[in-house]
Amino acid sequence: MVMKGLLTFPSTPSIAATGVTAGPLEKKSPFHVNFDKMFDDERCGMKTNEQGHAKLMEDAIMIALSKVDKVPSDADFLLAGDLVNQMTPSNFSATTVGIPYIGLFSACATSVSSILLAALLTESGMSKLAVAGSSSQHNAIERQFRYPIEYGTQKGDTSQWTVTAAGAAAITPYQEGVPCIERGTFGKAVDMGMTDPLNMGAAMAPAAADTLMRHLSGHNASASDYDLIMTGDLSKVGFSIFKKMVGNQGIKDFQNFSDAGEEYYGGLPEFKAGASGAGCSASIYFSEIYKKMMEKEYKRVLLIATGALLSPLSYQQGDTIPCIAHAVELTMK
């Protein structure tokens, strides 16, 4: 029995299908060809940004369910979260689909914490079909955490662009021919005293390094066992720091390492350090990575979603930024 936040799933619950939705600007992402639905309007045809945010999540859930020929009333659990105050977009999408709902907050790491909890519910036999996911909508998140959208402030090279995207995964007991969840690690909240909300990558990197090292040592694995180790949204700056930190702890080869945030927009300079947001990791994990696992290009991957657990209030009061990273190990048999 492995513990201290380390999880193993002997029955290997499967990710039977995924659904990914995104906004108009995400067409600039080289990954957009694998997204299921792209909206031409950032509010997704709704009146407010927050309603559009809920619509993104709702459509991602419906797409994931439709791929396994199910309707919401067939599902046992919905585990979802986002970054808006009290997670109202996820709450509203849960109201619309009507699946028994557990709202989760791990900031941008919710994509993985929701999968881990759905896998636990499946493992325990309490769930035959659970939907896990997370989402973010650029305008809704920026106005809450930073400035009004149209405010003319200069973004530095460390700042990240919150994506408009949602990802959902349908998790079932073991099935053949789809990726399954073998192991996982819940992260600790790590705070290294960073205070700059425009340099989140640097704040989150220690959490990601901590979770990676705990996962590898706790499960007796080594970094080279994986075809891919992908962090969530550390982006350029945070990912460099992360590699340096785990490099100091004995990992030498970074060929199989990548970061969803850094690659999200293909390195376009107007997005600065890269992407962030709860929808960033979810939309890459559940499209690009899932597809490559289905094609057996990747047989074993480790996904480490990272999240900064700050609020606008906490940083205005001068508090540091605590961060978290959760890891899930997917295999394709």
Q: Which of 94, 108, 121, 202 binds another protein (CB under 8 A)?
A: 202
Does 23 participate in binding another protein (rule CB under 8 A)? Answer: yes
CA separation for the pair 209, 286 (Å, rounded): 23
Nearer to another protein, 147 or 296 (CB): 147
Q: Which amino acid is at 306?
A: T
Identity of the residue, 143 or 299, whose beta carbon is nearer to another protein in the bound complex: 143
Cα 333 to Cα 177: distance, rounded to the nearest angstrom:
7
Q: Which amino acid is at 9?
A: F
Residue type, 192: M
Task: Provide the 10 A C-beta neighbour count for residue 154.
Answer: 5
Residues in region 114-143 near another protein by CB under 8 A = 138-139, 142-143
- CB 133: neighbour CB atoms within 10 A? 34
In angstroms, give the least distance from the CB of 54 to another protein. Answer: 14
d(CA 88, CA 252): 43
Q: Which is nearer to another protein, 183 or 272 (CB)?
A: 272
**Single-letter code of the amino acid located at 223:** A
Nearer to another protein, 245 or 301 (CB): 245
Binding to another protein, residues 41-100 (CB under 8 A): 42, 47-50
137 φ/ψ angles, rounded to the nearest 5 degrees: -130, 120
Strand partners, 169: 18, 132
204 binds another protein, rule: CB under 8 A? no
- Whether 330 and 318 have beta carbons less than 8 Å apart is answered as no
By CB under 8 A, tell whether 40 contacts another protein: no
Residues between 182 and 201 with contacts to another protein, criterion CB under 8 A: 192-194, 199
Find the binder of another protein among 85, 153, 217, 224 (CB under 8 A): 153
As given in the structure block, the two tokens for residue 268 are 């376009």
Q: Which residue, 126 or 268, has its beta carbon nearer to another protein?
A: 268
* Residues contributing to the site for another protein (CB under 8 A): 23, 25, 42, 47-50, 138-139, 142-143, 147-158, 161, 164, 192-194, 199, 202, 205-206, 237, 240-241, 244-245, 270-271
